[in-house]
Structure 1
Amino acid sequence: MSSTLTVQQRQMATAAALFVVNTVAFAAHLYAASFYIKTPYHTSALTGAGWVHELMTGHPDRIKMELGMHLHVFCALVDELRGIGIHGTYFVTLEEQVAIFFYTCVTGLSIWHVGERFQHANATISRCFLTVLFAVSSPPFYDRYVKLLTTIQPVPSHILNNPKFFPFFSGAIGAMDGSHFNCCPSAQERHLA
C-alpha cells in the first residue's frame, strides 16, 4: 500500500512540475512575443502633417483655437525660424514642429497625447518640442523679439481704460490673449531700461 501511495505521489509531483514548467514557458512566450510581433501604434489616416495642412488651409478660427495664434502669425514665425537656420527633418516639417510646440503649450497635454494627435513617437514629439523651445528662447530670436517690461513702464492704456481688465490685471505683466508662461526674470532684468 505504501508503494502505491509513493507512485501516486510521484505522478502528482510530476504533473505539478509539468504544469509549472508549461505555465512558465507560456508566460515567457507571451512576454517575448511583445518584442518580436510588432503592432503599429500610430495608424490614423490623418497624419500630423495632414492635420497641420488642414489647419493652415481651413477655417481661420481653427488654427487660432488649436495653436493659439492666427495663420499669418504662425507663417511669420515659421519663416523667422527658417531665417535663423531652423529646418524640418526628413519626417517632420518645420511647420509641424512649430505646431507640435504650440499645441502642447495651448492644451497642456502629455507627450503621449500629443504623439497620438500628430501620429509620431514620443521621442519625436519631445525632440520637436525642444527644437522649437530652444530656438525661441535663444539668441538671435529671443534677443530680437522678447522685450521684458520694467517696473518704471506704465500699464498699457488698453488695460488701464478697460473695466474688464483693470483693476484685475493692474499688476500683470505679459500676454493678455490667454497664453501665460511662468517667468521669473532676475532683479537686474526687471529694472533694465
Structure 2
Amino acid sequence: MARAPPNFGVNLDDPDDARQAATAVLILSWHFQRHQVPRTRQLVHTCPFTGQGWVDDLLGGKCIRMLNNMRMNMPTFIQLCRILREGEYIIEGPCDKVTLEEGVAIALYGLSHDLTQRVLGERFQHSTETIHRHVRRLCQALVRLAPIAIRHRDTDATHPRIRNNRRFYPWFKNCIGAIDGTHVSASVPRGEQDAFRNRKGTLSQNVLAACDHDMRFVYVRAGWEGSAHDSRVLLDAISNPDAAFPTPPAGKYYAVDAAYRHMPGFMAPFKSGPGGRSQTAQKGLFNRRHSSVRNIIERTFGVWKMRFKILDGPMKNYPIEVQRNIVVACCVLHNFIREMQPYDVYLPDEINMDDGSTEGAQMPQLHVTPEALHDWKELRNAMADHMYLHRNE
C-alpha cells in the first residue's frame, strides 16, 4: 500500500498555511530566476541572402523569373509599387526595416503560390509576424484601391468581341459583360462551419463577380457563406446601397446563367420545358450563343484562380475578414496585370470553371413590374427568332 507524502507540518486546508506555502514558492521562484545562467538568444534567420536581396536580384534578372514568382513583369511590379507609394495606400515609416518593394513582394509571392507564413519567413528571412503583417497590409491597400481598379471603363459602345463576331452581333450588342458566382475555399472556426459549407460539402465563401468582355472584373462581392444561393448574393448586391453594384444603363444588360432571374438588366437563357424537354430550335440556338457570350466570366475565373493559387485554399493562417480581403485584392491585381500586360501568359491555358450552377430554386429578386418583365421576355423571344432566321448568314 502506497504511503501518503509527508506534509512537513503544513496543512493546505488551513488558509494561513496555504498562504505561507504560496509565498515560499514565489520567493524560491524569484531566487532561481535571479541566479540561473542566462541563455544566449539564437537567431533563426541567418541566411546572408536576404529577402530584399532576392527582390533586387529578381528585378535585375530575366523577365520570366518575375513572372514565375510574382505573376507580373518588372515594369508592372514597379508601377504597382509607385501607385501604392504615391497614392499613400501604403505609408512607409522611418523605422521600417522592410521596404515597400519587399513587403509587396512578400504578399505577391504568398498569394501567387499559396505558401505558408513559415515558408515565406524562410524565403525572406523574416519572422512569421512580419510576414503576416505585410500580407495584410498589401491586401488592405488593394481593397482601398478597388473602387478605382474594379469598375466599368465604357458601357456605351458595343465591344469588339461582340461587334466582330457574326454569332453575337447584332443580337448581343447591348451586353456589357457577364455575372456569375464562384466558390473560394475558406477556413472558419468550428462553430461557423455549417453556414460556410456549400452543397458539395466543403467550406467556402461564395464570391459574386461581374466582368467585361476584356476579362476584367467590374464588380466583386466577397465574404458570403458558401451555403448562400447565387441569386441571394446578387439580390443583396443590388438592394444594398453600400454594395455599390454597377447597375447597367437602360437597355444594357449582363449575361447570366439560369440560376438568376431573367429581368431588365440581366439576360438569362431560356429554361428547359417540363420534364427537361428540349426547347424549340430558336430557343436552343439562342441558349448556345448566349452561353458562349456568358462564358467570358468562367474564363475570367479560370485565369484568376490559376494566377493566384491561394484561392484554392483553405487560407488557414487568416481570419475570415482577411480571407475576404484576399479575394478582393486578387481581383485588383488581376485587373492591374490585364491592364499592364496585354500579352498574358495565362490566357492560352485558360480553362472553363464550372461551379455547377443549376436552374435550382431562385431567390426573390428586386420588385419588377409585370409589364417590365413581359417586355424583357418579349425582347428575348424576338432576339431568338431573329437569330434563328439569320443563322446561316
Taking structure 2 as the reference length, the TM-score comes to: 0.33
Give the unaligned 5+ runs of structure 2: 1-31, 153-176, 181-209, 216-291, 312-323, 329-364, 366-393
**1:146 is matched by which residue type in structure 2?**
I
Tell me which residue corresponds to 1:61.
64
Q: Is the 8 A contact 2:178 2:297 kept in 1?
A: no
- Alpha-carbon distance in 2 for matches of 1:61, 1:116: 23
**Cα distance change, pair 175–102 in 1 and its aligned pair in 2 (3 A):** farther
Displacement after TM superposition at 1:87 (Å): 3.2
Partner of 1:79: 82
Q: 1:75 to 1:154 in 2, by over 3 A?
A: closer
| 2: CA distance, partners of 1:44 / 1:81 | 29
Q: 1:94 aligns with which of 100, 106, 117?
A: 100
Letter in 1 for 2:55: V
Q: 3-state SS of the aligned residue for 2:72?
A: coil
Give SS of 1:176's match: helix
Partner of 2:44: 41
Distance in 1 (CA, whole Å) between partners of 2:52 and 2:98 is 8
Q: Deviations over 1:73-101 (max 9, x none)?
A: 11111001002211345210000011001
CA distance in structure 1 between the aligned counterparts of 2:82 and 2:150, rounded to whole angstroms: 17
Percent of paired sites with the same residue: 26
In the TM superposition, residue 38 of structure 1 has moved relative to its aligned partner by 1.7
Deviation at 1:142, TM superposition (A): 1.0
**Equivalent position of 1:132 in the other structure:** 138
1: CA distance, partners of 2:151 / 2:114: 25
Describe the SS at the equivalent of 1:54.
helix
- Give the number of the structure whose residues are more often helix, by fraction: 1
Q: In 2 relative to 1, CA 84–43 (structure 1 residues): closer, same or farther, beyond 3 Å?
A: same
Q: 1:154 to 1:39 in 2, by over 3 A?
A: closer
**Residue aligning to 2:307:** 179
Task: Deviation per CA, 1:130-176: give whole Å up to 9, x if none.
Answer: 110100012xx111112386539887389xxxxxxx79x55514462
Post-superposition offset of 1:179: 1.9
The Cα offsets for residues 17-70 of structure 1, whole Å up to 9 and x where unpaired, read as xxxxxxxxxxx99xx98x832211100111000000001111111111011111
Distance change (3 Å), C-alpha of 1:53 and 1:157: closer
Specify the alignment match of 2:149 in structure 1: 145
Pairing 1:162-173 to 2, within 5 Å after superposition? 171-172=297-298, 173=300
What is the alpha-carbon distance in structure 2 between the residues aligned to residue 109 and residue 157 of structure 1? 30
Corresponding position of 2:213: 156
Distance 1:87 1:157, change over 3 A: closer
On the 8 A contact 1:88/1:97 being kept in 2, the answer is no
Correspondences of 1:114-133 after superposition (within 5 Å): 114-133=120-139
CA contact (8 A) 1:87 1:93 kept: no
Structure 1 residue ranges, 4+ long, deviating more than 6 angstroms after superposition: 152-155
In the alignment of these two chains, the number of paired residues is: 145
The one-letter code matched in structure 1 to 2:124 is F
How far apart in 2 are the matches of 1:144 and 1:154? 15
